[in-house]
Amino acid sequence: MQISRQADYGSRLILDLALQPTPDYVPIHEIAAQHSVPVPFMKKIASQLAAAGLVETTPGPRGGVCLARPASEITLLDVVEILDGPLFLNRCLVEPHACPYDQTCPVHQVWVQAQATLTAQLRQTTFAQLAHQYREQVL
C-alpha cells in the first residue's frame, strides 16, 4: 500500500498551515514552491481539503489558504481519506464476498488487524502533534 502524492502533498499543506505562528492565509504558490509541487496541483488539493472543511481558501492578492479548524482537530487519517478515499489494505476488507476464500482465509485476519492498527495510528495523529514534533526537531 502506498498513499498517493496527492495525500502526501495534502499532509504537507496542512502541516505547513499548522506551523504558522498565527492563523492567517498563506499563498498557495508559496506552499507549492516550498515542496516543489506544481501550483495547479496544490490548488486542486487545497480545493478538495476546503470542500471537506479542513481549510478555507480565498482568492486575490492577499488570498491563500488557512486552516478552517484547529490543527488539534485534524488527523492524518482525515487528510488521507479525503484525498485518497477510504483506507483499505485489501479488497476483501470492503467487499467480504469478493474472494471465494473469505470464510477460510488465514491471511484475512492479518489484513483486518493490520488495517485496524494503521487506521488507529493515523486517527490518533493530529497535525498539532506533528507541528510540535517538527518544532522540537528543528528548533
What pLDDT was estimated at residue 84? Answer: 94
Q: Summarize pLDDT for 24-53 with one digit per residue, the tens.
A: 899 999 999 999 999 999 999 999 999 999
More confident residue, 51 or 107: 51
| The three grid cell numbers given for residue 38, joined into one nine-digit string | 506544481
> CATH classification of 5-138 is 3.40.50.720, yes or no?
no
Q: What is the mean pLDDT of residues 86-107?
A: 80
Q: Specify burial of residue 36 (Cβ count, 10 A radius: 0-12, 13-18, 19+).
A: exposed
What is the distance between the alpha carbons of residues 59 and 68, in angstroms, rounded to a whole number?
Answer: 15
How much is the pTM? Answer: 0.89
